[in-house]
Homo-oligomer: A and B are copies of this chain.
Amino acid sequence: MLTADLVILTIRDGTLCLLVVERGNEPFRGCLALPGGFLRGDESIGETAARELSEETGVDAEELHLQQVGVYSAPDRDPRSPRVVTCAHLAIAPGLPLPSAGSDARAAQWLPISEALELRDGLAFDHDEILRDALELARAGLQFSTIATAFCSPEFTISDLREVYECVWDVELDRSNFHRKVTEAEGFVVPTGRRRSTVNGRPAALYRAGDATSLSPPMMRPSR
């Protein structure tokens, strides 16, 4: 029995949030859990994850970042059966609307990461461990890859991108130096020529994600 579980992250109102669903069945009925589903006979595990992602968020997985976190296979991780193995995936999405507690009757909601990590009873199964591992992966990924753009809409400003780094790393970055690094890194962002007006201040230039997947030189996370 192989399942794909999803750690779906997004940024809402300057806060890093996780998509959780409330379980309708035993075990862990009423408990919060990561969305997920079973591998079908004709698909790869990546396709399973992509399918679940689009079912949960309504977003086509083509555009989003989706990556394996790891396999979780402790024999007692699922009380029903010793052999439910899950392959956890990390999905990064731009700000999405509150998911409708949809057809499958599962209440889905965005939960700030800080709350998700401090739930009284934790998440169902070993999902706490999965979440911690996925978060670590996302944080490290920002340094060496261009996945940060996956948190942004197709068109974004440099400040949008900086907000991603600041939310995920929980740090503050220097505006000027960030701007320089990002615009000078080859293939990270490409200017679209358009601008976005804000309530006050000079309108910011809009960019879209570039071709590069790895970021060099890396954007090092401040040591403390």
Task: List A residues at the B interface (Cβ < 8 Å).
Answer: 2, 39, 41-46, 68, 70-71, 73-75, 82-83, 85, 87, 140, 144, 216, 223
Contact B68 A70 (CB under 8 A): yes
Interface centre among A2, A44, A71, A87 (most CB of B within 10 A): A71
Copies of this chain held together in the complex:
2
* Interchain residue pairs A-B with the least CB separation, the first 7: A45-B73, A44-B73, A71-B87, A68-B70, A44-B74, A45-B71, A42-B75
Contact A44 B75 (CB under 8 A): yes
- Other than the known A44-B75, A45-B71, A68-B71, what 18 A-B pairs have Cβ atoms closer than 8 Å? A2-B2, A2-B73, A39-B73, A39-B85, A41-B82, A42-B75, A42-B82, A43-B75, A44-B73, A44-B74, A45-B73, A45-B85, A71-B71, A71-B87, A73-B87, A87-B87, A140-B144, A216-B223
Chain B nearest CB from A51 CB (Å) reads: 13
> What residues of chain B lie closer than 8 Å to A87, measured between beta carbons?
71, 73, 87
> What residues of chain B lie closer than 8 Å to A44, measured between beta carbons?
73-75
Distance in angstroms between the alpha carbons of A32 and B42 in the assembled complex: 27
With CB as the reference atom, state the residue of chain B lying closest to A39. Answer: B73
> What residues of chain B lie closer than 8 Å to A73, measured between beta carbons?
2, 39, 44-46, 87
B41, B82, B83, B223: the one within 8 Å of A83 (CB): B41
> What residues of chain B lie closer than 8 Å to A140, measured between beta carbons?
144
Show 11 residue pairs from A and B whose CB-CB distance is below 8 angstroms, ordered by the A residue. A2-B73, A2-B85, A39-B85, A41-B83, A42-B75, A44-B73, A45-B71, A45-B73, A68-B71, A73-B87, A216-B223
> What residues of chain B lie closer than 8 Å to A2, measured between beta carbons?
2, 73, 85
